[in-house]
């Protein structure tokens, strides 16, 4: 369903009624549509008694494409660590704070006064901003495979950086893009819980046919790269928080999860051996328990 906000439209999916039932809002990461959340996880949370709200972030999937904002100059924004940029002379088309405000506007449109906020990767950064800057709207925070933005944290591995920044194949046919996406995903995939190539290919084929938005991904990346250090902001978070991170994450290293948990008062850190930067079906109970654990702490 399309939810029209003042400034854009967000493609949204609801499981249950978020007005009459406690709501969980799921926020995906860089260039990742809402369809990447495992269906088993959605069912698990809904059957636990919650309304589940998920959506495509701006510039991705079936939400508004902000092509009028043009192509960001990622070369000027690039540093050794693309997840931490204390200062840049180049301005992004929009910021992570703008994307956090999208979520608040979505909550307003759906008449959700407060919700349990869950974010993965870049979505975790957006969720952190909501918890810090909109405390009355956030009942609990679950930050998954994300970072505090501390500029002293280690950067991604060289292979993960290549997966993030390597140019797309040309021509950009479905076959070429799907094969390229599978190759990149295998670099980020949980080594203890690998997803078969056939399943990855099917997933990326469906995503390509649903919406292919490389410029939107670039604009989101610009927002991520200029997100800055959130540690001072995170010190103000009062919502109960769980930080979930894989010990084998090559993109946002485990030290980033540890620093996020350290920066949020009384946050609980859960490190998962063999987990990297993806959503393996075998780990759905782990994701669900982290989210429900944060919720229990809020009761």
Instruction: State which H helix or E strand residue 291 sits in.
Output: helix 284-298
Assigned domain for 190 exists: no
- The rounded distance, in Å, linking the Cα atoms of 162 and 220 is 17
Stretch among 51-60, 66-75, 200-209, 223-232 having the lowest mean pLDDT? 66-75
Within-domain flag for 290: yes
Average confidence (pLDDT) over 215-237: 95
Cβ(140)–Cβ(239) below 8 Å = yes
Whether residue 186 is contained in a domain is answered as no
Name the residue range of residue 292's domain.
Answer: 2-157+216-298
Render pLDDT for 107-148 as a digit per residue (tens, 0 to 9): 999 999 999 999 999 999 999 999 999 999 999 999 999 999
Residue 137 lies in a domain: yes
Mean pLDDT (whole number) for 6-34: 97
Q: What is the pLDDT of residue 75?
A: 75
- Report phi then psi at 163, rounded to 5: -65, -30
Question: Cα separation of 107 and 289, whole Å?
Answer: 24
Please enumerate in sequence order all residues whose Cβ is within 8 A of that of 271, keeping only pairs 6 or more positions apart, or say none.
245, 246, 247, 254, 257, 258
Q: Is residue 278 part of a domain?
A: yes
Measure the CA–CA gap between 88 and 78, rounded to whole angstroms.
Answer: 9
Residue 233 covered by a domain: yes
For the chain, helix (H) and strand (E) counts, in that order, are 11, 8
Tell me the mean pLDDT in the region 28-37.
98
The pLDDT, as a whole number, for residue 90 is 63
Residue 73 is predicted with a pLDDT of 81
Which of residues 38 and 164 earns the better pLDDT score?
38
Question: Taking 90 as the threshold, does the pLDDT of residue 101 lie above it?
Answer: yes
Strand pairing class (51-55; 115-120): unpaired
182 assigned to some structural domain? no
Q: What is the model's pLDDT at position 91?
A: 79
Compute the distance between CA of residue 126 and CA of residue 143 in angstroms, rounded to an integer: 9
The pair phi, psi for residue 142, each rounded to 5°, is -120, 115
Which are the contacts of 280, defined by CB distance < 8 A and separation ≥ 6? 189, 190, 193, 194, 195
**Is the pLDDT assigned to residue 274 strictly greater than 90?**
yes
Residue 166 has pLDDT above 60, yes or no: yes
Contact between 81 and 208 under an 8 Å Cβ cutoff? The reply is no
Indicate which CATH number applies to the domain containing 70. 3.40.50.1820
Q: Please give the radius of gyration of the chain, using alpha carbons only, rounded to the nearest integer.
A: 18
Give the number of domains in the chain: 1
The beta strand positions in the chain, using DSSP E, are 2-4, 9-15, 23-27, 51-55, 115-120, 138-144, 241-246, 268-272
Q: Is it the case that residue 240 has pLDDT exceeding 90?
A: yes
Residue 100 CA: distances (Å) to CA of 28, 131, 164, 193, 268: 12, 10, 23, 31, 23
Residue 209 lies in a domain: no
Q: What is the pTM of this model?
A: 0.95
């Amino acid at each position: 369903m399309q939810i029209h906000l003042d400034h854009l439209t967000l493609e949204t999916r609801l499981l249950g009624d978020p007005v009459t039932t406690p709501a969980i809002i799921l926020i995906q990461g860089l260039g990742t549509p809402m369809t990447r959340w495992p269906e088993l996880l959605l069912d698990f949370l809904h059957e636990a008694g919650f309304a589940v709200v998920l959506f495509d972030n701006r510039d991705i999937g079936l939400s508004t494409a902000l092509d009028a904002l043009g192509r960001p100059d990622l070369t000027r924004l690039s540093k050794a660590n693309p997840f931490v940029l204390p200062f840049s002379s180049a301005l992004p088309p929009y910021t992570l704070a703008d994307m956090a405000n999208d979520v608040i506007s979505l909550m307003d449109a759906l008449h959700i006064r407060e919700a349990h906020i869950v974010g993965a990767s870049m979505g975790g950064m957006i969720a952190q901003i909501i918890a810090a800057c909109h405390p009355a709207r956030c009942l609990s925070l679950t930050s998954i495979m994300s970072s505090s933005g501390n500029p002293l944290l280690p950067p991604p591995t060289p292979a993960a950086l290549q997966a993030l920044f390597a140019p797309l194949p040309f021509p950009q046919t479905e076959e070429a893009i799907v094969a390229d996406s599978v190759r990149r995903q295998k670099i980020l995939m949980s080594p203890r819980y690998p997803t078969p190539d056939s399943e990855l290919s099917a997933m990326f084929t469906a995503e390509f046919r649903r919406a292919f938005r490389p410029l939107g991904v670039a604009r989101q990346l610009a927002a991520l790269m200029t997100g800055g250090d959130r540690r001072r902001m995170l010190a103000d978070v009062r919502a109960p928080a769980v930080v979930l991170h894989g010990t084998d994450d090559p993109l946002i290293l485990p030290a980033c999860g540890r620093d996020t948990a350290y920066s949020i008062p009384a946050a609980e850190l859960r490190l998962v051996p063999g987990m990297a930067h993806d959503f393996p079906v075998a780990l759905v109970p782990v994701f669900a328990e982290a989210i429900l654990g944060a919720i229990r702490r809020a009761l």
